[in-house]
Amino acid sequence: MKCFEFMGKEIFARFGIPVPRGRMVLTPEDAAQAAAEIGKPVVIKSQVLSGKRGKAGGIKFADTPEEAAQAAAEVLSMTVQGLPVRRVLVEEKLKIDAELYVAITIDGAAKAPVVIASAKGGMDIEEQDEADIVKTHLDVFLGLPAFLARDVARKIGLRGNLAKEFSDILSKMYCILNHKDAELVEINPLVVSGDHLIAADAKLTIDDSALYRQKDIPFVDEDMTEVEKMAKAAGVGSFVELGGDIAIMANGAGITMGTLDMIQLFGGRPANFMDAGGGTGVEGTAKAISILLAQNPKVIFINIFGGITRCDDVANALAQVKRDMGIPVPVVVRMVGTNEEAGVRILKEVGIDAYRDMKTAAQMAVALAKRGEGA
């Protein structure tokens, strides 16, 4: 889950990383009040889950509370990178002598956290020459020892007090990575202001699977589609919309990924990823099917390898949805495993044939989608 900048800065401040004074507001009037409280020139920053806000005009400056109100009104009426601006961050305008970049994220290939730092931060960091980027992988059993933090500071050219502050900030970022179950902790830019460093921006991404234990972090759903929000509200396992026309449900992440691959192999376009999980039961399965229908697909493809999940439960759910709501598109089912015979019989009673072979079922789903049956 991506956090808004103001959320990231609140967490940074809690862990002792210096951030500008300011607060998030929802109206121009509150922006003027926040600017008056700060008592000096401010910056009005759009709070959207996107980068390049400055280039899009989503960041403005103001010298007085009246100017802050006007700037906030303009920003709150904008869309930035296609995202409507619903809130802004009002914070003190910093004196900027230089801009650095620093982040800690997870390198999946190396199976380890990695520190990424550069003396050339700010906009277009992704276009920096590799020679200007310092990367240091961390041993999770050692963490980020002080000597390693100082070494990163030295490699990006910092000396004296700035090097000391950088090392301290980097250590605190690693604490955030661990304690907040973060996948990414990023500061860009980390501003050199006189003899001190200040986090002028904050990017924080939390591992979705760990959100249940991060109760103090508000849930952010603004990067989710409406159907994804429906799926989450319904308690449907893992669901991601993909934009195709074949709605897919399977029971397990591996079999779901395999189903997506096979549909694409035969020239089809998956509408979604849905891992309905194991042992979902009739009611939960019926909810999952209703989510698939909400995407208006041309075909529904259900791929069940019955273990904990019983084939007769899935079949009963399908039959229930067909009786109660109707299913206006073809349904292709591949079903093997626990209570398979009972499941096949239940499906046959409502006019749905089940396949045992995944390849044959996937080919049928793609063929039906291409014919546009039920569209």
Q: Is 216 left (phi over 0), alpha (psi -120 to 50) or beta?
A: alpha
The mean per-residue pLDDT over the stretch 87-104 comes to 97
Task: Return the pLDDT at 39.
Answer: 96
Write out pLDDT tens, residues 152-182.
999 999 999 999 999 999 999 999 999 999 9
Task: Return the pLDDT at 228.
Answer: 86
Written as six digits, the tokens of 355 are 């396949």
Residue that is written with structure tokens 């074949």 in the block: 246
185, 9 Cβ separation under 8 angstroms:
no
Residue 67 assigned to a binding site: no
> Is residue 101 flagged as an active site residue?
yes
The mean per-residue pLDDT over the stretch 79-91 comes to 90
For the chain, give me the number of helices (H) and strands (E)?
Answer: 11, 18
Residue 39 assigned to a binding site: no
| pLDDT bucket at 290, cuts 50 / 70 / 90 | confident
Burial grade of 121 (CB within 10 A; 0-12, 13-18, 19 or more) = buried
Residue 161 assigned to a binding site: no
218, 186 Cβ separation under 8 angstroms:
no
35-44, 160-169, 285-294, 327-336: segment of lowest average pLDDT: 285-294
* Nearest in space to 119 (alpha carbons), one of 169, 170, 154: 154
| pLDDT bucket at 209, cuts 50 / 70 / 90 | confident
Written as six digits, the tokens of 335 are 């079903």
- Judged against a pLDDT cut of 80, whether residue 281 lies above it is answered with no
Percent of the chain residues past pLDDT 70, beyond the cut? 98
Written as six digits, the tokens of 210 are 């760990």
Residue 63 assigned to a binding site: no
Residue 94 assigned to a binding site: yes
| pLDDT bucket at 280, cuts 50 / 70 / 90 | low
| Annotated catalytic residue within 5, 10, 67, 101 | 101
CATH code for the part of the protein at 98-213: 3.30.470.20
Q: Which CATH class is domain 21-92?
A: alpha beta
Query: For residue 68, what are the CA distances in angstroms to 19, 93, 130, 285, 332?
Result: 20, 12, 39, 51, 57
Tell whether omega for the bond before 113 is within 30 degrees of 0, i.e. cis. no
The mean per-residue pLDDT over the stretch 123-142 comes to 88
Residue 91 assigned to a binding site: yes
Task: Return the pLDDT at 375.
Answer: 43
- Judged against a pLDDT cut of 90, whether residue 99 lies above it is answered with yes
224, 239 Cβ separation under 8 angstroms:
no
Write out pLDDT tens, residues 3-49.
999 999 999 999 999 999 999 999 999 999 999 999 999 999 999 98
Query: Which residues have CB under 8 Å from 306's CB, separation 6+?
Result: 251, 314, 335, 336, 337, 338, 339, 340, 343
Listed in order, strand segments (DSSP E) in 181-271 are 182-193, 196-199, 203-206, 238-241, 246-250
Q: For 94, which DSSP code? A: P
The mean per-residue pLDDT over the stretch 43-66 comes to 92
Instruction: Decide which of 279 and 141 is more confident.
Output: 141
Written as six digits, the tokens of 131 are 């020679």
- Judged against a pLDDT cut of 50, whether residue 282 lies above it is answered with yes
Residue 251 assigned to a binding site: yes
Write out pLDDT tens, residues 219-265.
887 777 888 888 888 887 788 999 899 999 998 889 999 999 999 99
Residue 45 assigned to a binding site: yes
The mean per-residue pLDDT over the stretch 306-330 comes to 88
The Cα–Cα gap between 71 and 75 comes to: 6
Task: Return the pLDDT at 278.
Answer: 66
> Is residue 212 flagged as an active site residue?
no
| Annotated catalytic residue within 165, 186, 241, 340 | 186
Listed in order, strand segments (DSSP E) in the chain are 22-25, 42-46, 59-62, 79-80, 83-84, 88-92, 98-107, 112-118, 133-137, 182-193, 196-199, 203-206, 238-241, 246-250, 272-275, 299-306, 331-337, 354-355
**Is this model's pTM higher than 0.75 or not?**
no
SS (H, E, C) 172-207: HHHHHHHHCCEEEEEEEEEEEECCEEEECCCEEEEC
| pLDDT bucket at 374, cuts 50 / 70 / 90 | very low
The Cα–Cα gap between 301 and 12 comes to: 45
- Judged against a pLDDT cut of 60, whether residue 311 lies above it is answered with yes
Domain boundaries defined on the chain: 21-92, 98-213, 226-372
- Judged against a pLDDT cut of 80, whether residue 151 lies above it is answered with yes
CATH superfamily of 226-372: Succinyl-CoA synthetase domains (3.40.50.261)
Residue 178 assigned to a binding site: no
